[in-house]
Amino acid sequence: MSANRTGRRIKKERTLRKTTSNLDVLFIQFRAIKKSEGRAEGTIEQYENNYGFFIEFFDRHRIERSIKEINREVLQKYIVYMQDEWVKFEGHGFKKEEHMTKGLAPATINTRLKTLRVFFKTLYDEGLIENNPMWGIKNVRELEEEIVILDEDELRLLFAAPNQRNYADFRDYVLMNVLLDGMMRISEALGLREENFDLEGRVLYIPAAIAKNRKARSVPIDFGTAKILNELIIENKADFDSDFIFLANYGERLTRDHFRKRLAEYAREVGIKKRVHPHLFRHTAATMYLESGGDIRHLQILLGHSDLRMVMRYTHLSGKSLTA
């Protein structure tokens, strides 16, 4: 052994894998990594959508789709673009000018930034890029707003809106009942299959694969909800070859965007002024549960939250529920 050899060479630089600077190729690699880690389909879809918004910014500003073009200044410009320049319904031929509002909500901006953080950190950890450009990029400030819920009259009007003689309307009516009764997320409801429904036990089983926190849970439902859910499944079997419960008219799986639009149309038809969206059922059901004297820790289990603080922030707590 050489007398000069005193120890192993100190490694200071990272070993980079041979890769490309093209953002689209890097995103394909990122998506494959996340799929191999078992990320939920809804999470992968959110990554894809938020990456699309990021690339739209690049294309509009004629920036090359290359990792070499991304730095702190570009990312800050992207945030300003989302705050001040992005226009809702821009280029939509059937929307009035007053509907084309500028700027995204802070929560939406932060959701898109979260995807970029996961994207670039994964690439960096895998040795696919030299630096993580999201280091030091902060979220925009979010104002804590009171959670909006539907009152009893609004619920009655909304549930009366679908024409149950029509398949799509009946499906929407069933989905609305499942969201309110089961307090589940729209992604969880749309991921339900026939095997996840126990008619006799009146229970919906949410597998870990479609749960946001990747933990399976069972959700009890009322007799009426179980009954119409079973009716929908029977109708599906007669016309479609799919084991998903909530399907579009041609048998493909119903998407959250499609249902969200239909839900907003029902709200307009019956004159509800609040912004009605799928998650509103979850907020409303949680609040109703607490106001009727339900236990907050049991609510935590029903909602599928790992952290009790999320339940406290999630629900619109009334004085009645706090003293229960």
Query: Where is pLDDT greater, at 320 or 191?
Result: 191
Q: Answer whether 0.85 is exceeded by the pTM.
A: no
Residue type, position 138, single letter: K
CA distances from 91 to 54, 80, 98 (A): 18, 21, 13
- Poorest-pLDDT segment among 174-178, 189-193, 221-225, 303-307: 303-307
Q: Give strand ranges (E) for 207-251.
A: 217-220
Phi, psi of 216 (to 5 degrees): -70, 150
Query: What is the 8-class DSSP label of residue 270?
Result: T
The predicted structure's pLDDT at residue 7: 53
Tell me: pLDDT of 300 over 50.
Answer: yes
Where are the CATH 1.10.443.10 domain residues in the chain? 152-322
As assigned by CATH, the class of the 23-125 domain is mainly alpha
The predicted structure's pLDDT at residue 9: 53
CB 171 within 8 A of CB 246: yes
pLDDT range class, residue 91, cuts 50, 70, 90: very low
Q: Which positions ≥6 away from 263 have C-beta within 8 Å?
A: 172, 176, 276, 277, 278
Where are the CATH 1.10.150 domain residues in the chain? 23-125
Query: What is the 8-class DSSP label of residue 65?
Result: S
Tell me: pLDDT of 226 over 80.
Answer: yes
Q: Which positions ≥6 away from 180 have C-beta within 8 Å?
A: 155, 281, 284, 285
Query: What is the 8-class DSSP label of residue 85?
Result: I
- C-alpha span between 35 and 15 (Å, rounded): 24
Tell me: pLDDT of 286 over 60.
Answer: yes
**Does the domain at residues 152-322 carry the CATH identifier 1.10.443.10?**
yes
Query: Where is pLDDT greater, at 94 or 44?
Result: 44
pLDDT digits (tens, 9 = 90+) for 200-223: 999 999 998 888 777 899 999 999
The predicted structure's pLDDT at residue 311: 66
- C-alpha span between 233 and 132 (Å, rounded): 48
The predicted structure's pLDDT at residue 199: 95
